[in-house]
Chains A and B, each alone.
Chain A
Amino acid sequence: MTGAMFVQHALNGLTLGSLYALIAIGYTMVYGILRLINFAHSEIFMLGAYFVLWGITLLYLPWFVAIVGAILITAAIGILVDRVAYRPLRDAPRISALISAIGVSFFLQNLTIVAFGAIPREVYRPAWLENPILMGEVRVLPLTLFVPALSFLLMLGLVWIVYRTKPGLGMRAISKDIETSYIMGVPVNRIISLTFGIGSALAAASGIMWALRYPQLQPVMGSIPGFKAFIAAVFGGIGSIPGAVVGGIMLGVIEIMAVAFFPDLAGYRDAFAFILLIVILLIKPTGLMGARLEDKV
């Protein structure tokens, strides 16, 4: 393998990884606050991409408006899902909310099939994203640079919200102790809604960029990336935002590199992440950067 190819694979891995990272942030934020694996998150990712398609093809919106609109609507759906399907179960056993989340996931997926059919859809890509740039021997699609850069900006914005604003302070307080936060006057439900909104907006952004990178939309397209992003969140340490970013990028790079170095394993590509999940859960369930969550008796 030449150096140029290595750089190329590394860049591809970084692109894929930053898409995983954006989804993983949503998982990790919700888990940090509610201890809930938001199974429907992968469908939020898928809806983000579909809304852009609808905006452009059905409403003839300019692509910029379609993208912003899609992100806002997806964020609203994320909040709605929490209100309808998770909030009534706050005091129930944790698995009840998880089953509800599984139900929501199937519901959104099949509703998309009902509304738009199960046939894969092509996505139009603007030409300026298509022409490869030559950097020495490395041929790079502008998209390959654009995706990590934009993801990085979004993550910076998120870090600013979480660590420098009052609602962010609320999020951190709730993730430490939800009841005490409530007593101390944190508007818990509003903060949780905000968390779902932000997480869903990031997933939508990831879904849209995913659709540009791998231009085919299907109602089931969210399942595998969503699952892998969850694994990335566990890998990085669930509940930790930097962990989700690092986990997502590492998972993306590992996946691309493993297939690049061992082409024979290409068929097993989707199994890597699951094996990684099982190994992580067994060796270090708290992940790379996670805090230890003890079960209280």
Chain B
Amino acid sequence: MGAKTNAVLNILAAAVLGLFLWWAEGHLDGYMIQILNLIAVNIILALSLNLIYGFTGLFSLGHAGFMAIGAYVCSILILAPEQKEMLFILEPAYDWVQSAQAPFFVAVMAGGLTAALFGVLVGIPLLRLGDDYLGMATLGFAEIVRVLAINLPRVTNGALGFKGIPDHANLWWNFGWCLLTLFVVIRLIRSNSGNVFKAIRDDETAAKAMGIDVFRHKLLSFAIGAFFAGVGGALLGSLVATIDPKMFTFVLTFNVLMIVVTGGLGSITGSVLAGIAITVLLEWLRFVENPVYFGDWELPGIPGMRMVVFSLALIFIILFRREGFMGKREFSWGWAAGRFLKKADRHGI
């Protein structure tokens, strides 16, 4: 299948998505739209972790930290000055926090860029570590971000966090960023750098022996991943309208890791499909945690059940299908056409 056909089909698919969103905006209720929004954000987050871990082999558990940075930076920029005056009741905000203002797109960009900057700063010392040590150290970084968020009340409003963040993150913004992430990650993976990432993942020593500047490429992958994690965090902040340090615990990283592992490490298609499936499941399982009423009879909700199911699922996947649902395979139009034609063949068309 030629490059031109592919491009046309991609644009068509984007157009179909656009039509669907346009339809959804008018016809679906707020709850469904919220789920669609969460799907987009989770796909962004999953793609960014997949780039870092699935494609470059850097086991990072610091996603919650980058998301927190993105969410705080973006929220500070889009909250109105009057709102900030009302919010900062513990201690007044610094002047630069109070007066900072930016349109939504710039705010999200700023959130992502700040997260990327932190990614570089943290990556320079930490990316020399291997495997599990890197995981622990990045997890430590995320915890430090959280402790800072609690202890810098003049920037973050301390443990209270922000409320009433303007809900700019609608379907169009979220899916727009989602498509942009998808585009950037795919282009990156197919580029020369992408090949280098995979070489580092598969055998770092061999890559080094081939003369690859391993450290610089690790840093590049880590920083880009951190950027999109920051973007995801920024969108999430605007989407849920409330952020505080308690939100950015390890559970958040766990959810993203769950999506990436389920979909398949090193599969973009996997991350997208698992992003959709797991977001829907996570929402659906909320019912388990809330009480159910049958007339007068009440079946009490079981708090914690959601994560029990999800952690079990993760264990099962890692035990029995370590490569996830997609492995390293990807969807392509050529593959789809092949399937379709074969089917058509069988039916004698």
Contact = CB atoms under 8 A, between A and B. Distances in A.
A27 to B, nearest CB: 11
Contacts of A107: 307-308, 311-312, 315
A112 B136 CA distance: 24
A247 to B, nearest CB: 14
Nearest to B143: A274
Contacts of A85: 315, 319
Interface in B74-92: none
Interface stretch (A46-54, A88-96, A151-159, A187-195): A88-96
Given A114-B304, A118-B303, A274-B143, A102 B254 contact: yes
Interface string A96-114: 1011101111110111111
Contacts of B261: 99
A268 interface: yes
A127 interface: no
A281 B144 contact: no
A277 to B, nearest CB: 5
B300 to A, nearest CB: 11
A106 B312 CA distance: 9
Contact of A114 (B128, B205, B250, B305): B305
B3 to A, nearest CB: 35
Main secondary structure of the interface of A (DSSP, over half): helix
B304 A113 contact: yes
Contacts of B306: 110
B129 A285 contact: yes
B143 A100 contact: no
A106 B130 contact: no
Contacts of B106: none
A38 B271 CA distance: 27
Given A99-B257, A117-B303, A281-B129, A274 B140 contact: yes
A59 interface: no
Contacts of A96: 318, 322
Contacts of B131: 94-95
Contacts of A36: 132
Contacts of A223: 250
A154 B118 CA distance: 43
B227 to A, nearest CB: 22
B17 interface: no
A268 B147 contact: yes
Nearest to A265: B151
Interface of A: 35-37, 85, 88-89, 92, 94-96, 98-100, 102-107, 109-114, 117-118, 219, 223, 227, 230-231, 234, 267-268, 270-271, 274-275, 277-278, 281-282, 285, 295, 297
16 contacts: A94-B131, A96-B318, A98-B135, A99-B257, A99-B314, A100-B314, A100-B315, A103-B314, A106-B307, A110-B311, A114-B303, A114-B305, A223-B250, A277-B140, A281-B126, A282-B125
Given A100-B314, A102-B257, A104-B315, 4 more contacts: A106-B314, A107-B311, A117-B303, A234-B136
